[in-house]
Amino acid sequence: MLMITRLHLQNWKSFKDSTVYIDPLTFLIGTNASGKSNVLDAFYFVYLLSKGVALEDAAASIRGGEDWIIRKGQAWTTLGITIEQEEFQYDYHITIKRDSIGLKFEQNEIYVSPIGKENKCFQDTKAAYDAATSIRVNLEMSLWEKDHRNAVAIVRDTLKSVFVLNPNPQAMRSYSKLSKELRMDAGNIAGVIAALKPDEKAALESKLSHYLKPLPEQDINKVTAVTVGLAKSDAMLYCYEGWSPDQAVDARGMSDGTLRFAAIIVALLTIRSGSLLIVEEVDNGLHPSRAKELVKVLREISKERHVDVLCTTHNPVLIDELGNEMIPFISFIKRDQEGNSHVCLLEEKGNLAKLMASGSVGDMMTNDEL
């Protein structure tokens, strides 16, 4: 299975030179304006390019627009994405330069090598351009029998599977058309559920109800999407709560936190296996006492469906709920005196053991000790 394992940022927004490592469940923590959102923007940017969006339009879609994608004072930025599949590694490097006219591609290359040998075999490569994409593919001489177009397709297909979820509860409260794919804002959540085959719909609603059940003060007994109208082409999300078990509550009466949580669950259950799900402020709108339920969802469904999850949070309760075994999968982002952002692995923090002797990782977040 193809999985993204690393993102390397050079002169990207607030980052000078830093690497983010992607595991099955990865958390980014840091204070406001530390650079967490800039990491997510990088993934969204390469996703847009993989979908065929023009460079200028992709840059305009990122927070701050094209004026901010390159670190201030620099003329170029490079993003490096590492994708692993069994014994092979695909390293995609894209460099964008700014000149008097605007932005342009300076480098657009893929390096293919056996895993663990990238630094050695890249020195002895054979290269060719894919005419359809202008992507230069470099392969070790012994791997040349692998078609370079296959490498381009593999990288493009993997980047297309990145799903940036930013649930908008207000959008989720409206009727939505039946849909095959969840939108980034999850505004069509009811349409996606209702469009499934009857047995698939029943299975998804059962899991959604199971994971949402303990969220409010009184349990949610059932969640369902119901088609409406003569043509049955629209749908609305409904739930039955413990307060009034026989009275359905539509999405207009559901809380922001419940709807956001539902969107995360539906995304995990409907995006394709092997995808990377990205969620900013994953616990937004969720009461701290329900952090355990969120961690359970992220762990169980992502493992079951082979979906990697990258998310950010400011919630110390959520981080503590992960447990010490998750420390290797938590990175914190800080800015230096010059304003450059740096990604740091929590497990590599020099005084981590000493700090944890007097408190938890959540305490360190609260006391700004990272």
122 vs 369 pLDDT, higher one = 369
Q: Which tokens sit at 178?
A: 């039946």
Using DSSP's 3-state secondary structure scheme, residue 34 falls into: coil
Q: Is 349's pLDDT higher than 50? A: yes
Using DSSP bridges, classify how beta strands 125-130 and 135-140 pair: parallel, antiparallel or unpaired: antiparallel
If asked whether residues 15 and 104 sit together in one domain, one would say yes
Crossing angle for the helix pair 291-305 and 198-212, nearest 10 degrees? 150
State the pLDDT at residue 146: 55
d(CA 147, CA 194): 41
Q: Does residue 265 sit within a domain?
A: no
Q: Which tokens sit at 10?
A: 């050079």
d(CA 118, CA 111): 8
State the pLDDT at residue 171: 96
Q: Does residue 268 sit within a domain?
A: no
d(CA 247, CA 243): 9
187 vs 88 pLDDT, higher one = 187
If asked whether residues 35 and 120 sit together in one domain, one would say yes
Note the pTM of the prediction, 2 decimals.
0.90
State the pLDDT at residue 113: 81
Residue 139 banded pLDDT, cuts 50, 70, 90: low
Q: Does residue 217 sit within a domain?
A: yes
Q: Compute the radius of gyration of the chain from its Cα atoms.
A: 22
If asked whether residues 126 and 17 sit together in one domain, one would say yes
Q: Which tokens sit at 177?
A: 């058309």
CATH number at residue 7: 3.40.50
Least confident of 114-118, 157-161, 314-318: 114-118
Q: Which tokens sit at 130?
A: 């894919």
Q: Is 116's pLDDT higher than 90? A: no
Residue in the structure block whose two tokens are 């992502």: 302
Residue 120 banded pLDDT, cuts 50, 70, 90: very low
337-368 burial: b if 16+ Cβ within 10 Å, else e: eeebbbbebbeebeebeebeeeebbbebbeee
Q: Which amino acid is at 259?
A: L
Ordered DSSP codes for 211-265: HHTTSSSS-EEEEEEEEESTT--EEEEEEEETTSTTSEEEGGGS-HHHHHHHHHH
Q: Which tens digit of pLDDT belongs to each residue from 17-47?
A: 999 999 999 999 999 999 999 999 999 999 9
112 vs 235 pLDDT, higher one = 235
State the pLDDT at residue 356: 74
- Compute the mean pLDDT over every residue in the chain, rounded to the nearest whole number: 88
Measured in whole angstroms, the distance separating CA 284 from the mean position of its chain's CA atoms is 15
Rounded to whole angstroms, the maximal C-alpha distance in the chain is 70
Q: Which tens digit of pLDDT belongs to each residue from 286-327?
A: 888 899 999 999 999 999 999 999 999 999 999 999 988 889
Last residue of a domain, one of 193, 224, 258: 258
Last residue of a domain, one of 204, 225, 258: 258
Q: Give the chain's domain count.
A: 2
Cα-flanking dihedrals φ and ψ of residue 283, to 5°? -100, 15
If asked whether residues 60 and 189 sit together in one domain, one would say no
If asked whether residues 298 and 352 sit together in one domain, one would say yes
If asked whether residues 281 and 353 sit together in one domain, one would say yes
Q: Does residue 251 sit within a domain?
A: yes
Last residue of a domain, one of 195, 223, 258: 258
User: How many Cβ atoms are within 10 Å of 143's Cβ, its own excluded?
Assistant: 16
Q: What is the average per-residue pLDDT within 190-196?
A: 97
If asked whether residues 189 and 113 sit together in one domain, one would say no
Return the H-helix or E-strand segment holding 114.
strand 103-114
Q: Does residue 90 sit within a domain?
A: yes
Q: Is 129's pLDDT higher than 90? A: no
If asked whether residues 131 and 23 sit together in one domain, one would say yes
Query: Phi-psi bin for 332: left (phi > 0), alpha (psi -120 to 50), beta?
Result: beta
d(CA 57, CA 60): 5
Q: How far is CA 294 from CA 258, 290, 300, in A?
A: 11, 7, 10
Return the H-helix or E-strand segment holding 140.
strand 135-140
Range of the structural domain that residue 177 is part of = 169-258
Residue 367 banded pLDDT, cuts 50, 70, 90: confident
